[in-house]
Structure 1
Amino acid sequence: MSTRLSARLSRLLNMVPYFVANPGISAAEAAADLGVTTKQLMADLNQLWMCGLPGYGPGDLIDLSFSEESVQVTFTAGIERPLRLTSIEATAVLVALRSIVDLPGMVDPTAAHAAIAKLEAAISGGAPAATSAGPPEEAPAVTTVRSAVAAGRALRLEYYSASRDVVSTRVVDPIRIVAVDDNSYLQGWCREAEGVRLFRFDRIESAEELAEPSRPPQEARATDAGLDLFQDDPAVPLARLLIAPDYAWVLDQYPMHRMAVHPDGSLEATMRFATLDWMARLVLGFGSGVTVLSPPGLVAAVRERSAAALAAYDGAGLDESA
């Protein structure tokens, strides 16, 4: 509760200089800028009536004129400047910025690097360091996606699906940009799949902003919609695998669910996969470290590929005298 009240107090104190700098702005525009709902903004404005200087008389309290169409501060009670970050707060913001600046699409890299330089200077007490090297260039597809999300427009993507090993064209209604497991994604309604999907930025080969607006279904706009990268969809085939003890690390690298641990340290795990061909190639890459237990079709595919590889090896005609 105290954390929530502290956050609201900071927001209230910063609202005064914000409205002084933006006289006559509408409640809806201000709410969007401040990251709150219009209802919360109106509640905050009503609360500001009770804030001001000691004495708390008519000439001491903040005075403002507001409606949903226009907000204007008529008496600031001396609170004309935004609150300054403490060194701890500035460091926290700096760490957060550095953690996302290298994730494609999360922030405008030019603005982020400029903010980082200013924060570093503020923390050290000096001027922002001059540097000849600018921020890294953003891929054109990333810039297009960020622009479409900001403008609320649909996108046409050329997207590489690692699970299917194919590049496909998708028309997507963007919802937001998110970070999941140290990667950045476009969360959007895929018209082809008719569902919410995550499109990893480093797998978007090209992007075209369309003239039509983004119109994802209302239920798709939920913050956590589609954020489970590997949903347990019963429509997707399930492989059951036996993993050798020294290959247990694959559980951290692939979307597997551990089912059992055997006395010898080997593990049984399951993993959803999109195509038989892709899954067979993945398993073969682990050699004897991972064995397929089911389904039968995947077991047969791995055996056939193994036999073909051995036949090709034997047919190479090794020179035994070498």
Structure 2
Amino acid sequence: MADSAITRAVRALDLIPYILENPGNSVEQLANKFETSSKQIISDLEVIFMCGLPGYTPYELIDLSFEDGIVTVVDAQVLDKPRKFTETEAVIVSLGLQLLSNLAENIESKDRISKLIEKLSSKFKATSQIELSLSNKPTHYDAVIHAITAKSNIEFSYKSLSKDEFTNRTVSPIRIYTSGGVYYLSAFDQNNNGLRVFRIDLMSDIQLISGVYKTGESPIFIQTIEFEIESTNELFLEKYSSIFNEVTKTKTGFNAKGLVSNREWLFRLLLSNRAEVTVIKPQDLADDLIDRAGKIVDLYADSSNN
């Protein structure tokens, strides 16, 4: 299974500092260290080789040598030190972990989060001086969190402030958020067949019930793609790198694999780069692209005749 773009980016940020601190490593040794294949390490190094500071001339790019099997960093640019948190970043992470700890119901998860918080506190003094408090959370907060975690429907009585009356609601809870110090529940209201927002402090008599859990969201379309990109269109690869999770250099350019969730956007992207991008997979996308391109040509022909 191909690594995600995020996994590759994180590994790339760690590779350069590690190579600088441990010179003389072979591609195979780096692959073992970072728990991936030698082929993937070479692919990562090729990507890093094209990275650098704005300007992107040979003077700003990271300079590597790995053709002889031993990886050497000639010029690391700004990646000469391991990634580390600033004091501010550590505080933000600590607050996030404390929030997760409050939300977690599993004891094992709470323990693991607690250890991470302690580890941060031992390295950053500011994190030990800040504590997140949910003391003002409404009475039914925990019950709602449990329902969201379990993806369970809930039934409750809800007080309308505008009408000063109570109504019974059946919903599929989606998420909790705060605004102005008030906790709100975003949920799919099965009574009205749509998304609604409820103030948690106005909810009472909450009960978990069985039934189909709905979110009101359409299924997300995910398309696996594979392109052959000519070397003359390397800018395309850099500009849309977020959709690719595996890139391999070929004799004529690059083979790129990835995932997209918007087919119409993908059509427009390919039509504007068709000459230098060949669709390998899926075949139906290539067929539809040829068909649509043909129709566009026909439209131009018709307009010329008129």
Q: What range describes the TM-score normalised by the shorter chain of this pair?
A: 0.3 to 0.5
Higher alpha-carbon Rg:
1
Higher relative helix content: 2
TM-score normalised over the length of structure 2: 0.38
TM normalised by structure 1 equals: 0.36
